[in-house]
């Protein structure tokens, strides 16, 4: 009489080698805990071999122990990553590497040279493990350079700073350009004021004109100071003109009526009235 | 863990700054700049020494290979994190859908089996029922 489960029977089938025959294996007499629990049969050999089901027959296995965390739970919430997910999904992440490393010079527009990838560093690691020493003066002699600019082929590395400089140069040009306009306005005199009126929407020009006028005022003051013997009257005029002082505060409002919606800088009409 | 990483970042930034300054010195080299260049080269060496020292403190930091691919392609590595999270969420929803489907299937199956094999199902219920 042999008593075994179906699962075990399958196991025996798979072991076709004589060395692993059931006789040489575990004794069938020894009772074993049935792991599958699916089907128990009793096979009797002899003249009339019979197969008798000796246990209950179940279609299903016993349910296996459930894992603590499965895909049924919201794993993003479980691991507290909702905030991070919201951060990335909420706004569009800019694709360029330079947005991740804004302070890295030469990161933007740097040509991708061959074998300069991080992957190549991992695949073919550089020679390492040696101690690093400071270079001696003899070794530094190898870095003695010829005076002059870099050869063409290496200048690409300077592209990014050059761009920044270009912007600065543009700004500088603007700065340089404005005095020319000022000169023109100076040459025009009162006509220059009219021109300024026409172009009052251009703030920069306004600022520049104001500066010029302030300079002129100061010069006039100095002249007056030289000629006039009464310093008290000078102080009064100073207040009217708009030289820094408390009396100055009311000026822009009165000027605003003339020049339109201009800021505190727009004292030019009153200033010109002084001339 | 944050401190060694911050330290490394600081040293790398200093190293990059040194390289940038060398680039400026070299781009239009003047003979009087040789001493400055030599100092800068030695400061590069000392920078590398510092990075080498920090290596041991960062032995347990693992970076996925894919991140390097993103960087090599001049892409923002945050995109990798975003893609990973998107994939994880999609997979999570997929698996949840499968689990729900299986659960419904099980319920239907039990109902049908109770109808077809009431006795067997009752026996099974008694067998697996916790005492």
Q: For residues B11 and B17, what is the distance between their CA atoms, to the nearest angstrom?
A: 10
Phi, psi of A229 (to 5 degrees): -85, -15
Per the prediction, chain A carries an average pLDDT of: 60
Question: If you average pLDDT over residues B80-90, what whole number do you get?
Answer: 93
Whether A88 sits inside 8 A of B46 (CB atoms) is no
More confident residue, B62 or A175: B62
Please determine, for residue A224, whether its predicted confidence score (pLDDT) is greater than 80: no
* Beta carbons within 10 angstroms of residue A43's beta carbon: 14
Whether A81 sits inside 8 A of B85 (CB atoms) is yes
End-to-end Cα separation, chain B, in angstroms: 51
Q: Token digits for A51?
A: 């197969």
| Cβ-proximal residues to B7 (8 Å cutoff; 6+ apart), any chain | B54, B57
The answer to whether B110 and B103 are in contact (CB under 8 A) is: no
DSSP secondary structure, A171-222, as one string? HHHHHHHHHHHHHHHHHHTHHHHHHHHHTTT-HHHHHHHHHHHHHHHHHHHH
Whether A85 sits inside 8 A of B89 (CB atoms) is yes
Confidence at residue B107, expressed as pLDDT on a 0 to 100 scale: 95
Please determine, for residue A57, whether its predicted confidence score (pLDDT) is greater than 90: no
Whether A145 sits inside 8 A of B34 (CB atoms) is yes
Paired with A52 in beta bridges are A42
Q: For residues A181 and A198, what is the distance between their CA atoms, to the nearest angstrom?
A: 14
Whether B81 sits inside 8 A of A72 (CB atoms) is no
Confidence at residue A227, expressed as pLDDT on a 0 to 100 scale: 56
Residues of chain A with pLDDT > 90, as a percent, come to 7
Dihedral Cα A142, A144, A148, A150, nearest 10 deg = 30
Q: Token digits for A58?
A: 């179940």
Which of A39, A33, A32, A55 has the alpha carbon at shortest distance from A6? A39
CB-closest option in A57, A93, A112 to B74: A112
How far CA B124 is from CA of A29, A53, B110, B111, in Å, comes to: 27, 16, 11, 14
B23 near A CB under 8 A: yes
Confidence at residue B131, expressed as pLDDT on a 0 to 100 scale: 62
The alpha-carbon gap from B112 to the nearest alpha carbon of chain A, in Å, equals 13
Please determine, for residue B43, whether its predicted confidence score (pLDDT) is greater than 70: yes
Least confident of A89-98, B5-14, B113-122: A89-98
Please determine, for residue B77, whether its predicted confidence score (pLDDT) is greater than 90: yes
User: Can you give the residue ranges of every domain in chain B?
Assistant: 1-61, 64-131
The answer to whether A39 and A55 are in contact (CB under 8 A) is: yes
Phi, psi of A38 (to 5 degrees): -90, -50
More confident residue, A50 or B36: B36
Q: Token digits for B117?
A: 């094999």
Query: Which pTM value belongs to this model?
Result: 0.51
Q: Token digits for B76?
A: 């923002």
Residue of A nearest to B13 (CA): A104
Q: Token digits for A68?
A: 């603590």
Q: How many CB pairs under 8 A join A and B?
A: 122
The answer to whether B12 and A105 are in contact (CB under 8 A) is: no
Confidence of residue B78 (pLDDT cuts 50, 70, 90): very high
Paired with A41 in beta bridges are A4, A53
Mutation pick from B9, B76, B107 vs chain A, by most beta carbons of A within 10 Å, is: B76
More confident residue, A243 or B55: B55
The ipTM, to two decimals, is 0.73
The answer to whether B40 and B18 are in contact (CB under 8 A) is: yes
Q: Rank A73-77, A223-227, A241-245 by mean pLDDT and report only the highest.
A: A73-77
Q: A134-148 pLDDT, tens per residue?
A: 999 899 999 888 888
Q: Provide the H-helix boundaries in chain A.
A: 6-14, 75-78, 82-90, 97-100, 118-123, 137-140, 159-188, 190-198, 203-227, 231-241, 251-259, 268-274
Question: If you average pLDDT over residues B3-30, what whole number do you get?
Answer: 90
Rounded (to 5) percent helix, strand, coil in chain A: 55, 5, 40
Match 């009339």 to its residue by tokens: A48
Q: For residues A184 and A189, what is the distance between their CA atoms, to the nearest angstrom?
A: 9
Mutation pick from A124, A140, A161 vs chain B, by most beta carbons of B within 10 Å, is: A140
Paired with A50 in beta bridges are A44
How far CA A225 is from CA of A89, A241, A243, in Å, comes to: 69, 15, 14
Least confident of A47-51, A164-168, B9-13, B114-118: A164-168
Question: If you average pLDDT over residues A119-124, what whole number do you get?
Answer: 88
Q: Token digits for A268?
A: 């030019």
CB-closest option in B34, B68, B98 to A122: B68
| Cβ-proximal residues to B2 (8 Å cutoff; 6+ apart), any chain | none
Per the prediction, chain B carries an average pLDDT of: 90
Residues 96 through 115 of chain B touching chain A, CB cutoff 8 Å = 96, 98-100, 113
Q: Token digits for A237?
A: 């005029």
Confidence at residue A134, expressed as pLDDT on a 0 to 100 scale: 92
Give SS3 for B75.
strand
Q: For residues A259 and A237, what is the distance between their CA atoms, to the nearest angstrom?
A: 22
Question: If you average pLDDT over residues B106-124, what whole number do you get?
Answer: 92
More confident residue, A188 or B110: B110
Whether B20 sits inside 8 A of A105 (CB atoms) is yes
Sort out which chain B residues have CB atoms less than 8 A from A118's CB and list them. Answer: 68, 71-72
CA angle A233, A236, A237 (to 5 degrees): 90
Q: Which helix (H) or strand (E) holds B45?
A: helix B34-55
Confidence of residue B130 (pLDDT cuts 50, 70, 90): low
């Amino acid at each position: 009489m042999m008593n075994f489960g179906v699962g075990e029977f399958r196991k025996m089938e798979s072991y076709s080698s004589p060395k692993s025959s059931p006789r040489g294996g575990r004794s069938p007499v020894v009772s074993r805990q049935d792991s599958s629990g699916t089907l128990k049969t009793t096979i009797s050999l002899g003249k009339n071999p019979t197969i008798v089901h000796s246990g209950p027959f179940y279609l299903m296995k016993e349910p296996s122990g459930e894992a603590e965390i499965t895909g049924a739970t919201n794993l993003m919430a479980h691991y507290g990553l909702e905030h991070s997910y919201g951060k990335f999904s909420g706004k569009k992440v800019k694709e360029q590497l330079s947005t991740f490393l804004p302070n890295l010079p030469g990161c933007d527009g740097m040509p991708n040279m061959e074998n300069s990838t991080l992957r190549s560093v991992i695949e073919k690691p550089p020679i390492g493990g040696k101690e690093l020493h400071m270079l001696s003066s003899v070794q530094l002699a190898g870095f003695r350079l010829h005076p002059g600019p870099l050869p063409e082929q290496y200048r690409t590395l300077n592209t990014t700073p050059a761009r920044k400089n270009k912007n600065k140069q543009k700004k500088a040009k603007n700065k340089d350009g404005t005095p020319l306009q000022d000169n023109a306005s100076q040459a025009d005199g009162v006509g220059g004021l009219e021109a300024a009126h026409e172009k009052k929407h251009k703030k920069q020009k306004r600022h520049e004109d104001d500066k010029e006028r302030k300079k002129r005022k100061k010069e006039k003051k100095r002249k007056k100071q030289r000629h006039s013997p009464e310093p008290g009257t000078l102080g009064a005029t100073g207040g009217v003109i708009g030289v820094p002082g408390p009396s100055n505060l009311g000026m822009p409002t009165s000027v605003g009526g003339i020049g339109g919606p201009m800021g505190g800088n727009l004292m030019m009409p009153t200033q010109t009235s002084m001339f | 863990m944050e401190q060694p990483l911050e330290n490394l970042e600081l040293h790398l930034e200093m190293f990059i700054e040194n390289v940038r300054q060398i680039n400026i010195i070299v781009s239009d080299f003047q003979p009087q700049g040789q001493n400055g260049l030599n100092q800068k080269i030695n400061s590069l060496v000392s920078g590398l020494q510092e990075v080498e020292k920090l290596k041991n403190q960062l032995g347990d930091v693992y970076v996925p290979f894919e991140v390097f691919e993103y960087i090599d392609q001049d892409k923002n590595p945050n995109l990798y994190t975003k893609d990973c999270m998107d994939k994880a969420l999609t997979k999570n929803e997929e698996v949840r859908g499968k689990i729900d489907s299986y659960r419904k299937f099980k319920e239907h199956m039990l109902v049908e089996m109770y109808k077809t094999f009431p006795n067997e199902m009752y026996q099974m219920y008694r067998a697996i029922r916790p005492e």
